[in-house]
Chain A
Amino acid sequence: MDTEKIVLDYVNSKSKISGKSKNEQLNYDYLSSGSIDSMQMVEMIEFLESKFKIRFNSEDFKLNKFRSVGGLIEIIKKHLQDKN
């Protein structure tokens, strides 16, 4: 499963970041724009948890890297590693 592609595709479907360079996309702070509301946040968490069969914990939410696309990918990969 291509974790990076799935996360990038999902964020792009909400925030239209596909025009940016790969590096810009990975560093994109999808929370700071103020455009994400409670519904989108819950949707995103549910989508990622169900897609990767993982569960984010409260420690994940505290991490600064949870805010960036690249950081989110790292967190998901860590959960996938811990699972195996």
Chain B
Amino acid sequence: MKGRILGIDHIGLSGLNIFKNTPFFNTFQYEKVFSESNLRIFDEIKPFLSTEITSHDAMFLKNKNGISIEMVDYHKNNLSQGRYNVIIEWSSELFPEKFTSDDEIVKSLNGKLGNIKKSKIPQSNIPFYFLKGTNHGITSIVLEVTNMEKSLSLWQEIFNFEIESGGNQHFNSLVLSSPISNWNLKLILIENNKLQKSEAYLDSFGWNCISLITTDIESEIKSLKERSDIECGLPYFFEIGGKKYKLLFIKGFDAEIIELIQPTEP
């Protein structure tokens, strides 16, 4: 029986100091669930890193309704940018002087989602997109893709996302519905033919990995191995925050990294 994706567990963010940069996320009512230092780098992670890294620090931040964040500090980062972008929704405009609107993603999203603006996480070059709205926290993730058709097949056929109406060849909104509100995910795919086909890693700056909760990693691996356009790592066990998980990293054809996470018995 095929496993099931139950929702998004978190989005990974790298390139920030996990302690110094937390206040920015506290502004958006993200609270620390746990933090751990000097975590081991398992062999199974290494193909998804750009260089030899021996340990990392991690902090998990949760918001009641938005997508959770795992901030990971590898102490050195590859100069490439993580593939994902996030939309943070908030009811009032924060840091308005720091917004820019001259951006391809902003142009693609405006008129479809509302008045989107781009900004940067303070003391970093890591971008985020802001939408004034009634929900609070990270409500959507945006991924620029080189081939919409190929991307849709990955997210729909393998990960069971459902496509929302109103999309087209260059723009599609997909949803992953979950019974738990902050496990819901809206993933917006924007086709960008000018996108440089460069690599991205777990140690790339910014939003570099999304973590999806599955009931059965082994059956997901079987489905993934039928596809030649996906780089599928090896599963391994990892304990963090007092809980044990089975994990698997995957890289899609636009170098987007997806982590599958299966909670297991302690």
Asked if residues B263 and A38 are in contact (CB atoms below 8 Å), the reply is yes
Asked if residues B215 and A31 are in contact (CB atoms below 8 Å), the reply is no
B162 / chain A contacts, CB cutoff of 8 Å = 58
CB of B14 to closest CB in A, whole Å: 22
Say whether B261 faces chain A, with CB atoms less than 8 Å apart: yes
Binds B, one of A3-11, A14-22, A40-48: A40-48
The CA-CA distance from A36 to B180 in the complex, in Å, is 9
Say whether B179 faces chain A, with CB atoms less than 8 Å apart: yes
When C-beta atoms are compared, the residue in chain A nearest to B182 turns out to be A34
Known: A55-B1, A58-B162. A42 touches B177 (CB 8 A): no
When C-beta atoms are compared, the residue in chain A nearest to B162 turns out to be A58
Contact indicator per residue, chain A 32-60, by CB within 8 Å of chain B (1) or not (0): 00101111011101100000000110100
CB of B205 to closest CB in A, whole Å: 27
Contact indicator per residue, chain B 197-236, by CB within 8 Å of chain A (1) or not (0): 0000000000000000101000000000000000000000
Please tell me the number of chain B residues within 8 Å of chain A, measured between CB atoms. 19
Chain A binding surface, main DSSP class: helix
Contact of A31 among B64, B179, B264 (CB under 8 A): B179
Asked if residues B177 and A58 are in contact (CB atoms below 8 Å), the reply is yes
Asked if residues B180 and A31 are in contact (CB atoms below 8 Å), the reply is yes
CB of B242 to closest CB in A, whole Å: 10
Known: A43-B263, A55-B1, A58-B160. A38 touches B213 (CB 8 A): yes
Q: Which residues 51-84 of A sit at the B interface, judged by CB distance below 8 A?
A: 55-56, 58, 61-62, 66-67
A34 / chain B contacts, CB cutoff of 8 Å = 64
Residues of B within 8 A of A (CB): 1, 4, 6, 9, 64, 160, 162, 177-180, 183, 213, 215, 243, 261-264
